[in-house]
Amino acid sequence: MKKAKLAEQAEKQRQEAENAEFIAYFERLPQDEQTRIIDEVQKLINPVMQSIFDKDTVGNTAYKNPMVRHYFRQVMGV
């Protein structure tokens, strides 16, 4: 039981580190590249996620949203 909890905590820490690494990578990109990526991701978003993505885009936080992160990774090839 304790091993399972430790494994779960380790996985959570790994995911958090991966998320932080992705966010830092995206933020280092030139603004025009960030805009191009966001435009490409927007084409891939399904209608259910569109309103959330639009709101996050206005707030310049779409790339931080784990619900759409896989679209960013797909467009960026990372």
pTM: 0.73
For residue 62, the tally of other CB atoms under 10 A from its CB is: 25
Question: For 27-59, what is each residue's pLDDT tens digit?
Answer: 999 999 999 999 999 999 988 888 889 999 998
For residue 44, the tally of other CB atoms under 10 A from its CB is: 14
Domain count, the chain: 1
Tell me the residue range of the domain where 52 lies. Answer: 2-76
Percent of the chain at pLDDT > 70 equals 100
How far, CA to CA in Å, does 41 sit from each of 1, 4, 16, 44? 40, 36, 22, 5
Least Cα distance to 69 among 33, 30, 25, 6 occurs for 25
Q: What is the dihedral of CA 61, 63, 65, 66, to 10 degrees?
A: -160
Alpha-carbon gap, residue 58 to 65, rounded angstroms: 13
Say if residue 1's pLDDT is above 80.
no
